[in-house]
Structure 1
Amino acid sequence: MTTITIPAEYGYTLAVSVVSSILVTALGVKVGTYRKVAGVNLPQMYADDEEAKKDKKKMIFNCKQRVHQNTLEGFTTYMASLLIAGIQYPTAAAGLGLVWCAGRILYSMGYSSGDPAKRSWGGFGHIGGLGLLGLVGKMAYDLIVSA
């Protein structure tokens, strides 16, 4: 039987989970705020392609919306990996989580410029997410081997 002990440093992991949640919320607020600027009414998820080609504000809205959607698509896996990895590797998990957050911020800034190719600015953020998955994989391996 394995006992789980939560180290005091797990607070860093929890702090990064709060920062990550605030980041995702801020991305959503940006979408809602810019929706009004671009004139894209609810329940429409995106501006029509033809409209976006003619109106830079609608193109930027679509980019902001895509940033938020893309972030949400991987957020559950990221957050689970962060919180699980932090049990055994709290400072490493927190550091990798901050790398993920920084990558998401630069991804958002680049993509939201209206030039989707600039989203690559935040590509390094994948190191954070993959690193967290690696730590969880190591934990799973150690638990299986010790069984």
Structure 2
Amino acid sequence: MSTTITVPAGFAYLAPAFASTVLLLLGQTINVSRHRKLANIPYPQVYAENKEAEASKAAYIFNCAQRAHQNTLEQLPVLYVTTILTALKYPVVASSALGFWALTRVSYTRGYSTGEPKKRGSFLFKLGSLISVGLIFSSVYVSGAVANFY
């Protein structure tokens, strides 16, 4: 018995969407590395200790930049799965959503890396959060639709 998986037209749009997240992570890595150097935080220390961050604005900003990067890494597995599931039925919508989410994370990272965490919550960030929720719901819908198809 063989099984054939057929992907919908437009599924190839996932490639640039996923590539946008790679570019986002690369930019965040560079940002964290730059702030690590400015704060003089040695490897393998992941964050500046509380006393270091209290004594040095650069160390505090490093922690903010690192947290923005880490938060992105925490969200990506869910976004990748929900994007792929949504793309089974709506590949252009799913690809556009993921690509736009990556763009909103640039604003989030830039705001957070100012050392004023409240600046991470721009309009774009809030829109990105809605996109995340939309992908979750659309993936559940598509999964149910696909399951009913078979």
**TM-score normalized by structure 1?**
0.90
**3-state DSSP class of the match of 1:41?**
coil
1:43 counterpart = 2:74 = no
Q: Is this contact kept in 2: 1:100–1:129, CA < 8 A?
A: yes
Partner of 1:27: 28
Note if contact 1:103-1:124 (Cα within 8 Å) is conserved in structure 2: yes
Conserved? CA contact 1:60–1:113, under 8 Å: yes
Give the length in aligned residue pairs. Answer: 146
Aligned to 2:88: 87
Contact 2:18 2:99 in 1 (8 A): no
1:75-105 deviation per Cα after TM superposition (whole angstroms, max 9, x unaligned): 1111121122222211111221123112211
**C-alpha distance after superposition, 1:29-64 (max 9, x if no partner):** 221222111100011111111221221111110000
**Quick one: distance in 2 between partners of 1:3 and 1:84?**
17
Quick one: which amino acid aligns to residue 52 of structure 1? A
Q: Which runs of 5+ in 2 are unaligned?
A: none
Contact 1:17/1:82 (<8 A) preserved: no
- Retained in 2: the 8 A contact 1:12–1:91? yes
What is the aligned-residue identity percentage?
Answer: 32
Following TM superposition, where does structure 1 have runs of at least 4 consecutive aligned residues deviating by more than 6 angstroms?
none
Query: Which residue is 1:134 aligned to?
Result: 137
Match in the other structure for 1:104? 105
Structure 2-normalised TM-score? 0.88
Query: Which consecutive residues of structure 1, in runs of 5 or more, have no partner in the other structure?
Result: none
